[in-house]
Amino acid sequence: MAEKIIRIGTRDSELALWQAHTVEKKLQDLGYKTEIIAVKSQGDIILDKPLYELGITGIFTKTLDIAMINGQVDIAVHSMKDVPTALPIGIVQAAVLERASTLDVLIHKGNLDFLQNNGTIASGSLRRQAMWWNKYPNHNVVDLRGNVNTRLQKLKDNDWNGAIFAAAGLDRLGFINGNEIKSPSFGGVGEALDWMTPAPAQGAMVVLAMLNDSFCREAVAELNHIETEICTYIERQFLKTLEGGCTAPIGALATYDELHDTINFKGSLLSIDGKQKIEIEKAVDISEWKKLGFNIAQDILNNGGTALMSEIKDSLKK
């Protein structure tokens, strides 16, 4: 094995470091030498503004993109749902690791009576906010920013009824075990939100590399999980076609049905307040996967989605 040390760039949150160390171990098991270099992104530093006010696209990835282009790191590890659908020139997707849970989880304080009455839920995601309002229109939803530990602490310190998290992040940090939702250490209780369509590529980790770095690209390619790569490609193509970036309330989930050799896809677009919802579910033969995300997005745009996307963009400018 060549002596080149692969410098792994990551954000410095506990979850991001967990992901980077996971990639590091897999590369080391293959015989590669590695080094982790952590940097702080704007998205981690600016916690007092909703994400959509930060110019959003790539807010968590831009710093690492620059570090790669400047030659400070060789590869970057991200939660795939944070990565813009259009990568900077010269940077490519080198591998998608096998996906963890795609579920969203409501962490609450032990009593769900508020679901039938008036409740207050915290989330910094426009998608989660809109989907919650769609199901619970009388509830109050407040913005919540920060890494997983910070958000759990804010939930503990406030009188909110609960907050919404990605199951994958909670699992990776040991707050839950797989799809079995256990009580996080801070004292709350978890409830899987299987009715909530996840963010495109939720639960997946992606490794980016420089196009001209064949050594790192070939090394990282050994970590690629083809089923996850295909499903996340479909979801991100759907997102890109709707022109959502990371701002609009868009949900997407593609899963592979091995028994029937089909891809099952569910795509959702909601208004900011959750009152409007356009949703399509479809199963297609695996041979049709390459245009599936595009085709479903076109169906949504043709069924009121174009006007809804225009409304969303206008409301976010205010």
Question: Are the C-beta atoms of 75 and 206 separated by less than 8 Å?
Answer: no
φ and ψ at 31, to 5 degrees?
Answer: 100, 5
Catalytic residue among 44, 65, 74, 82: 82
Q: Are strands 104-108 and 162-166 parallel, antiparallel or unpaired?
A: antiparallel
Q: Are strands 33-39 and 189-193 parallel, antiparallel or unpaired?
A: unpaired
Question: Are the C-beta atoms of 37 and 73 separated by less than 8 Å?
Answer: yes
Q: Are strands 140-142 and 250-257 parallel, antiparallel or unpaired?
A: unpaired
DSSP secondary structure, 151-208, as one string: HHHHHHHS--SEEEEEHHHHHHTTSSBTTB----TTS-EEEEETTSPPPTTTT-EEEE
Which alpha helices (DSSP H) does the chain contain, by range? Answer: 14-29, 42-45, 62-69, 126-135, 148-157, 167-172, 214-221, 226-242, 292-300, 306-317
Is 48 an annotated catalytic residue? no
| 3-class state of residue 268 by DSSP | strand
Please list the active-site residues: 82
